[in-house]
Structure 1
Amino acid sequence: MHVSARADYALRALLAIADTGGGELVKAATLAEVQQIPLSVLHGILLDLRRADLLVSHRGTEGGYSLSRPADQITVGDVLRAVGGTLTTVRGLPAGSAGYQGVATGLRDVWLAVHGAVEQVVDRITLADLLTPEHRPADPAHW
């Protein structure tokens, strides 16, 4: 698994929005400044998150962005898929499409196992978990 800057930015933006408690609209410029994300990059990320039904945009001078559902219903996996597609890749393709012959045949099974392990972690952790320190394990290996 590779975590791109785009995926990191998307998670940081959604966490900042979620941290408002859901009642406050957050402007893209504010997100960019507070999270130190280039505004031009952030606009594309916010569009992807909106298309994935993770964000709602509100127009107008008092507009901004809000979560489309509660933070405890949005997982890290949802966000990663919205901005990056598949969670794990092999040579730029989804792990499931890797094909091998001969002595390397077993590699596909390894990549699928890695993909499954990543899914188990990122599909279990929600934005709310990340915002609530008591929900986080003392050892991150125990998510």
Structure 2
Amino acid sequence: MLSITTKSPYALKALTELGRQGGDTPVPIGELARQRGIPVQFLEQLFAVLRRAGLLKSQRGVKGGYSFAKPASEITVLEIVELLDGPLGGGAEGIFAEAAAAAREVLAKTTVADVVEEDRKSAGSVMYYI
């Protein structure tokens, strides 16, 4: 059916933070978790799946952490959802199959780089008034 658990949104939040901070430099998972309010142990499990799938690479040691194994512009949100939550809309019928197809289409055309850019724009548009 159309089930997206907390895994995918949390992973996307952390990948967005990685895109904002990272570049080619590894970012410690604890830093990503702290910045986005995600439990570290949970994020470690999610990133392990993404690393095994070839989306992330990890580096151990003092300057260790995670970085993208391929450009964020080549990683779709649908890819993340299906790695962490399984096939979107699998077994759906009728109107639910149509809804799943629409969701798949939106998620397939949205990349992690798109989400990072949107996050940057929204962070820059915050206005403080005194």
Fold-level similarity (TM above 0.5): yes
Look at both structures and tell me which one has the larger radius of gyration over its CA atoms.
1
Equivalent residue number for residue 125 of structure 1? 110
Identity value in percent: 32
2:29–2:66: 8 Å Cα contact kept in structure 1? yes
- Structural mapping, 1:59-74, within 5 Å: 59-74=60-75
* Higher RCO, Cα 8 Å, sep 6+: 2
Equivalent residue number for residue 125 of structure 2? none
1:17 offset after TM fit, Å? 0.9
Equivalent residue number for residue 17 of structure 2? 16
Deviation track 1:30-79 (CA, whole Å, cap 9, x = no partner) reads 11111111111111011111122111111122111001111111111111
Cα distance in structure 1, aligned partners of 2:67 and 2:33: 15
SS in 1 for 2:11: helix
- Structural mapping, 1:1-143, within 5 Å: 1-20=2-21, 22-88=23-89, 94-96=90-92, 108-133=93-118
Structure 1: where are the runs of 5+ without partners? Answer: 89-93, 97-107, 137-143
1:95–1:115: 8 Å Cα contact kept in structure 2? no
Structure 2: where are the runs of 5+ without partners? Answer: 122-130
Cα distance in structure 2, aligned partners of 1:41 and 1:116: 29
Task: Output the aligned Cα RMSD.
Answer: 1.7
1:95–1:111: 8 Å Cα contact kept in structure 2? no
SS in 2 for 1:66: strand
1:17–1:66: 8 Å Cα contact kept in structure 2? yes
1:21 offset after TM fit, Å? 5.0
